[in-house]
């Protein structure tokens, strides 16, 4: 058959054999209508001549007796849009351990799917802002490129959030991590291949630089000037004394925040085997979230594919290890109501059947934290400020930012950004920093060099 005039009209459909047509839908696609069966295959290309060649090849294969299913199966799996893949991911991949599952599902529902999922009924309900998910979610999974992810992140940064401000770079990173995790899952499930059956690379693998917006990020945010709030030494001791007097079973828990820098979800997820008194360490291998217990630390980058853990020394503060030893001995001797035998800080249930329950933050703040802070005159400080107090105290004591970042489980970049004011306050006058060193002594005691000029002088 004679080839049509190029470029092809993308509003028309083309056919060289009854039962197979070529049409354009964001990319060129083939539709097979053969023996009452219909199969649609995206070619993943916008090149007209290449699409026409694929139509000729598919037509020849049909003439030779192959079925549409055999042709598509020999080339690559049946494709789907990014939104359809994200729906399958949200409903089937329920073991997200590298971040909050609720946050990742919410991001995918808003920016990729355009609908909300109800786990109770198993149905999807369209969102009122579903149009923001269509440009990216309508793409075929195997044709998504880095430029598509970049366009998505650009739209994220330019969108206005519920507070009337444009989204920050940190939120763009959350969206990027969700998209990256989605494509990592597609790769692991064997659903991201080209037409030849080759596994494709993750299009969001190296797109972190695209979360930066020069116009927005070059302007200093007023929030960056705010110092991290910490407990003063007298406030620390007063709070510890209050818990020791009124709720001794959680005294070691508060001290763990001050002396080890663990987050609330990491502290209540600790078990007795996580504490090693011989090696003087606490192993952080999981954390509690409203969605349940998650593996790894809360500060994991969700799309790295590795569940991260960390080890925190327990001998930084001499008060921590004796408090933990006494607390564990009390648990084993008294076996309090609700203790499952391994939990380091179990909740106190109202019913005997509630064994192994976790201490909810709402209950802690309502029953203990708020009354304690009111009595002690402490305002605007939460359990998370124990972590900030730990990091600030370590930096003031001479620990390097790299060490503090490792103990906190954060990156060095995050540590420097949060505690920049503390590090800046520790800086001293560096004039003459290298004076008096061994190198300078050698230079001073070195004999003077005689310059020999051309005339021999």
pLDDT on residue 272: 95
- Residue 148 has a CB neighbour count (10 Å cut-off) of 18
- As to burial, measured by CB atoms within 10 angstroms (0-12 exposed, 13-18 middle, 19+ buried), residue 375 is exposed
Residues 65 and 210 in one domain: no
Kindly list the strands in the beta sheet with 37-42, ordered across the sheet, starting from the edge strand earlier in the chain: 14-17, 20-25, 27-34, 37-42
pLDDT digits (tens, 9 = 90+) for 216-247: 776 544 444 456 889 999 999 999 999 999 99
Q: In this structure, what are the phi and psi dihedrals at residue 436, rounded to the nearest 5 degrees?
A: 80, 0
Mean of pLDDT values over 38-47:
76
Residues 131 and 60 in one domain: no
Mean of pLDDT values over 302-310:
63
Helix (H, G, I), strand (E, B) or coil at 386: helix
Identify whether 456 is part of a domain.
no
Residues 124 and 60 in one domain: no
Residues 57 and 124 in one domain: no
Residues 305 and 195 in one domain: no
Residue that wins the pLDDT comparison between 17 and 313: 313
> Please, are residues 72 and 66 in contact by the beta-carbon 8 Å criterion?
no
Residues 183 and 244 in one domain: no
Identify whether 376 is part of a domain.
yes
Question: For tokens 């489980």, what's the residue?
Answer: 409
Residue that wins the pLDDT comparison between 51 and 452: 51
Tokens coding 410: 């954060």
Residue that wins the pLDDT comparison between 301 and 130: 130
Average the pLDDT over each of 179-183, 198-202, 270-274 and give the range with the smallest value: 198-202
Tokens coding 166: 């444009």
Q: What's 352's domain CATH number?
A: 1.10.443.10
Instruction: Please state, in angstroms and rounded to a whole number, the distance separating the CA atoms of residues 171 and 165.
Output: 12
Identify whether 8 is part of a domain.
no
Identify whether 127 is part of a domain.
yes
Residues 63 and 189 in one domain: no
Residue 448: pLDDT above 70? no
Mean of pLDDT values over 134-155:
89
Where a domain ends, among 56, 75, 94? 75
pLDDT on residue 322: 96
Residue that wins the pLDDT comparison between 425 and 76: 425
Residues 279 and 296 in one domain: yes
Residues 285 and 366 in one domain: yes
The chain-wide mean pLDDT, for the chain, equals: 82
Residues 416 and 282 in one domain: yes
pLDDT on residue 254: 96
Where a domain ends, among 49, 75, 101? 75
pLDDT on residue 275: 96
Residue that wins the pLDDT comparison between 221 and 171: 171
Identify whether 152 is part of a domain.
yes
Number of independent structural domains in the chain: 3
Identify whether 2 is part of a domain.
no
pLDDT on residue 81: 87
Identify whether 451 is part of a domain.
no
Res. 301 pLDDT band, cuts 50 70 90:
very low
Identify whether 367 is part of a domain.
yes
DSSP annotation of 140 = B
The end-to-end CA distance of the chain, in Å, is 94
Question: For tokens 């809360």, what's the residue?
Answer: 298
Residues 96 and 122 in one domain: yes
- As to burial, measured by CB atoms within 10 angstroms (0-12 exposed, 13-18 middle, 19+ buried), residue 348 is middle
Structural domain containing residue 349: 233-425
> Please, are residues 389 and 258 in contact by the beta-carbon 8 Å criterion?
yes
Residues 288 and 201 in one domain: no
């Amino acid at each position: 058959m004679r080839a049509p005039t190029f470029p092809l009209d993308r509003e028309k459909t083309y056919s060289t054999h009854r039962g197979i047509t070529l049409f354009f839908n964001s990319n060129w696609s083939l539709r097979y209508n053969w023996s009452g069966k219909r199969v649609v295959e995206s070619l993943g290309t916008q090149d007209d001549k290449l699409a026409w060649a694929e139509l000729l090849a598919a037509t020849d294969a049909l003439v030779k007796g192959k079925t549409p299913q055999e042709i598509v199966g020999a080339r690559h799996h049946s494709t789907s849009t990014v939104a359809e893949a994200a729906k399958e991911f949200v409903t089937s991949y329920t073991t997200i351990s590298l971040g909050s599952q609720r946050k990742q599902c919410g991001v995918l529902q808003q920016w990729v799917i355009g609908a909300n999922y109800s786990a109770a009924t198993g149905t999807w309900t369209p969102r009122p802002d579903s149009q923001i998910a269509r440009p990216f979610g309508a793409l075929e999974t195997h044709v998504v490129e880095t430029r598509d992810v970049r366009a998505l992140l650009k739209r994220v940064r330019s969108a206005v959030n519920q507070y009337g401000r444009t989204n920050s770079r940190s939120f763009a990173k959350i969206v990027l991590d969700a998209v990256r995790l989605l494509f990592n899952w597609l790769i692991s499930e064997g659903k991201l291949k080209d037409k030849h059956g080759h596994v494709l690379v993750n299009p969001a693998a190296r797109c972190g630089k695209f979360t930066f917006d020069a116009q927005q990020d070059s302007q200093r945010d007023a929030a960056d000037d705010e110092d991290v709030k910490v407990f003063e030494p007298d406030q620390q001791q007063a709070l510890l004394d209050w818990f020791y007097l009124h709720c001794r079973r959680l005294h070691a828990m508060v001290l763990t925040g001050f002396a080890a820098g663990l987050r609330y979800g990491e502290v209540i997820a600790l078990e007795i085997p996580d504490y090693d008194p011989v090696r003087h360490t606490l192993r952080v291998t999981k954390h509690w979230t409203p969605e349940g217990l998650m593996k790894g630390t809360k500060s994991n980058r969700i799309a790295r594919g590795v569940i991260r853990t960390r080890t925190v020394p327990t001998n930084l503060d001499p008060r921590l290890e004796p408090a933990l030893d006494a607390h564990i001995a009390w648990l084993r001797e008294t076996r309090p109501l609700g203790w499952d035998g391994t939990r380091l800080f179990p909740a106190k249930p109202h019913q005997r059947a509630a064994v192994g329950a976790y201490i909810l933050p709402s209950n802690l703040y309502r029953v203990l934290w708020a009354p304690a802070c009111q009595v002690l005159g402490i305002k605007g400080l939460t359990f998370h400020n124990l972590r900030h107090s730990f990091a600030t105290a370590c930096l003031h004591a001479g620990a390097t930012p790299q060490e503090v970042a490792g103990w906190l489980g954060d990156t060095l970049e995050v540590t420097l950004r949060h505690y920049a004011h503390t590090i800046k306050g520790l800086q001293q006058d560096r004039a003459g920093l290298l004076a008096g060193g061994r190198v300078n002594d050698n230079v001073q005691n070195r004999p003077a060099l005689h310059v020999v000029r051309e005339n021999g002088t």
